Amino acid sequence: METFGRAKRIRIYLNEGDRAGHLPAHVAVLQLLRKEGAQGASVFRGIEGFGASGEIHVSHLADIAFRLPIVVEWIDRADRVERLLPQVRALVRHGFITADDTEIVLYEAHPVRMLAAAVTAADVMSREVAAVETSAPVRRVVETILGKAYGAVPVVEHGRVVGIVTGADLVERGGLGVRLNLLARLAPPEQQRHLEALAGAAATAGDVMTRDPVCVAPGTPLPEIALAMARRRLKRLPVVDGAGLLVGIVSRYDLLRSAAGGFEAADETAGGAGLAADAPVSSVMRRDAPAVHPDTPLPETLQAVVSTRLNLAVVVDDARRVVGLVSDAALLERITPALRPGIVRSLMLRLPFGRPRPEEAEAATHARAHTAGELMSTGVPSVPPTMKLSEAIARMLEESHKLLAVTGEGGVLLGVVDRADLLRGIAAASG
């Protein structure tokens, strides 16, 4: 049996006569879950039952029919259940609540929902955020960011956010010779060499940071955050309290995950009146993705990869069918093969008794490549232009893709979408 994902199942046992304020208790629970962006819930009315009182309630006794048992069943991601369950418990004064793990074997995504205004930065942000002082040496900044999911580090003075250092800041002003995502792929000795090169630099976090970054309060609704990210082309925003103290960081990934609602699953801003909630991928895809042929020589492939912020090129055949992707990481292996530890080991393992690991064999192939076809990776994730935004977001998050190729009949390339494009779509739908 194929499992789509894992989730939590909450069952709330009530009677029809139970109230939460002026509302029936089950109605109050449903309204709360809907307002807070829960995945979904259903209400079932029983025909007979008894609870703690021992009194039997049956549907054929007219005098007590109003007290028939009711069950609210709510299935959602574990993190959302953890956030909302205390509020649900506050509404249920009399009843019985159970929680258990469940597996999703079928899930048909609905159109992308508007980001719920009741869900805020505090609900989705990462709270364990590493920060550096303005006096921190650049090397310490790089070491702080390496291995972190959000790829940037806030800069603080006495806990107050005064700047943020991104990978671009480190390359442009910090003297880092390779982008952070590529540095993370290097062997430890080569990582150390790059870090040692920064050791003697006099620059500090305060010298290289982007000053006065866009920050949001913990109570900022997600639609406002999405619009700010989309319009300013930002990937992440520090979250600060009323005193300007750092309390978390919210990323583009956090917003996409919230919009998808899946299970454990004049620039680029949208014009016009905004996108419909069930907009297709074609409404946000970019049609200018760099494309190369498998026989495209290395110099031209390199130019295509660095020509846009995507840092990759789509490889297409003579009929413009998608056959692969060339990434900047693959080019790095070709241009400086010694940076990859697997290269040396692969050469050593050419002995009859040696067998290189798949990633080592791939790196060795890249090191000898002369064309795009020799550098590309296959199995490119592709979607039709009619796919709804919610479905594309769910696939991107579940399979950890950063880019999807949009293809027409026969696999012909029409365009591509990345996380920024999808965020632009949900920001327009929510705005």
Proportion of the chain above pLDDT 90, given as a percent: 25
Give the total residue count for the chain. 431
Residue type, 324: G
Query: CB–CB of 99/75 below 8 Å?
Result: no
**Phi-psi domain of 147 (left: phi exceeds 0; alpha: psi -120 through 50; beta: other):** left
CA distance 81 to 75: 8
Residue type, 102: T
Tens digits of residue pLDDT in 10-64: 999 998 888 888 899 999 999 888 877 787 889 998 877 665 555 655 555 444 4
Tens digits of residue pLDDT in 115-174: 666 788 988 888 888 899 999 998 888 888 886 766 789 999 988 999 999 888 888 888
Tens digits of residue pLDDT in 359-375: 555 555 555 678 888 88
Band of pLDDT at residue 269, cut at 50, 70 and 90: very low
CA distance 50 to 296: 74
- Give pLDDT, residue 408: 92
Q: Which of 396, 421, 104 is nearest to 285 (CA)?
A: 421
CA distance 423 to 389: 10
Q: What's the gap between Cα 100 and its chain centre?
A: 26
Q: What is the CATH number of domain 281-336+366-430?
A: 3.10.580.10
**What is the pLDDT of the chain when averaged over all its residues?**
77
Give 121-260's CATH code, choosing from 1.20.1250.20, 3.30.360.10, 3.40.800.10, 3.10.580.10: 3.10.580.10
Band of pLDDT at residue 349, cut at 50, 70 and 90: very low
Q: What share of the chain is helix, strand, coil (3-state, %, to 5)?
A: 35, 25, 35
Structural domain boundaries of the chain? 5-104, 121-260, 281-336+366-430
Query: CB–CB of 355/385 below 8 Å?
Result: no
What CA–CA distances, in Å, run from 187 to 26, 53, 181, 231, 391?
Answer: 56, 66, 13, 37, 37
- The reply to whether domains 5-104 and 121-260 share a CATH topology is no
CA distance 317 to 380: 14
- Give pLDDT, residue 263: 47
Query: CB–CB of 281/395 below 8 Å?
Result: no
Please tell me the pTM assigned to this model. 0.53
Fold of 5-104: Alpha-Beta Plaits (3.30.70)
Q: Tokens at residue 38, please?
A: 């829960």
User: Does the pLDDT at position 318 exceed 90?
Assistant: yes
User: Does the pLDDT at position 79 exceed 70?
Assistant: yes
Tell me the mean pLDDT in the region 351-359.
46
What CA–CA distances, in Å, run from 238 to 201, 214, 246?
Answer: 27, 7, 7
Q: What's the gap between Cα 36 and its chain centre?
A: 19
- The residue among 375 and 263 whose pLDDT is bigger is 375
- Name the pairing type of β-strands 96-104 and 19-20: unpaired
